[in-house]
Amino acid sequence: MQIRSVSYQFGQFVLIPSENRLWHEGKAVHLPPKAFAVLVTLVSAGGHLVEKQDLMRAVWHDTHVEEANLAQTISVVRKALGAAPGGCLYVETVPKRGYRMAVGVKMFSDEVPPPPVASLAAWSGRVKSVVGVGALVGAALACLFLYRSVVGH
């Protein structure tokens, strides 16, 4: 049986759990292991509520931890993600119950998700810059060639 690779895209982030990778606009984002595990658990729930006890059990397994540990880890995740478009948080607190992703999550199997739109715009800008510089260099070389042809050197 082949193991299927799953990755997720939310906002400008791409999460690849099997590689322990989180990307934001093409740049790696570092998360401590427990914070990464919390994020994977929330993202894989696809926007559905994850109860605090279920989250603690999924991340810390049979180790006894307090809700304060979970709250601190959620804080680390939120700090790494920053604000979502529109200024809201990526991770929403459901008082007295748990947490859920506050933005849409897309899941991809056996493929890497497409880069976020902002990355494509940045790439397009870089290509235009390189093309512009190339045209400028080409024009300068043409002028030099023409000058040498006329002067006879």
Largest pairwise CA distance in the chain = 86
127 and 71, same domain (yes or no): no
Based on the domain organization, do 120 and 108 belong to the same domain? Answer: no
53 sits in which H/E element: helix 52-60
Together in a domain, 87 and 151: no
* 7-28 residue pLDDT tens: 999 988 999 999 999 999 889 9
**Res. 51: pLDDT tops 90:** yes
Residue 141 banded pLDDT, cuts 50, 70, 90 = low
Structure confidence at residue 145 (pLDDT): 53
What average pLDDT score do residues 103-125 get? Answer: 64
Same domain? 77 vs 122: no
Q: Is residue 25 part of a domain?
A: yes
Residue 5: the pLDDT is 81
Q: Containing domain of residue 60, as a range?
A: 6-114
- Please give the backbone phi and psi of residue 115, each rounded to the nearest 5 degrees, phi first: -65, 150
Give the pLDDT of residue 13: 93
Looking at the structure, tell me whether residues 15 and 49 fall in a common domain: yes
Q: How far apart are CA 83 and CA 81, in angstroms?
A: 7
Q: Is residue 93 domain-shared with residue 149, that is, in the same domain?
A: no
Residues 100 and 133 in one domain: no
Same domain, 124 and 105: no
Residue 126 has pLDDT above 50, yes or no: no
Give 1's pLDDT tier (boundaries 50, 70, 90): very low
62 plus 99 within the same structural domain? yes
1 lies in some domain: no
- Residue 10 within a domain: yes
- pTM listed for this prediction: 0.70
Indicate if 100 and 63 belong to the same structural domain. yes
State how many domains the chain has. Answer: 2
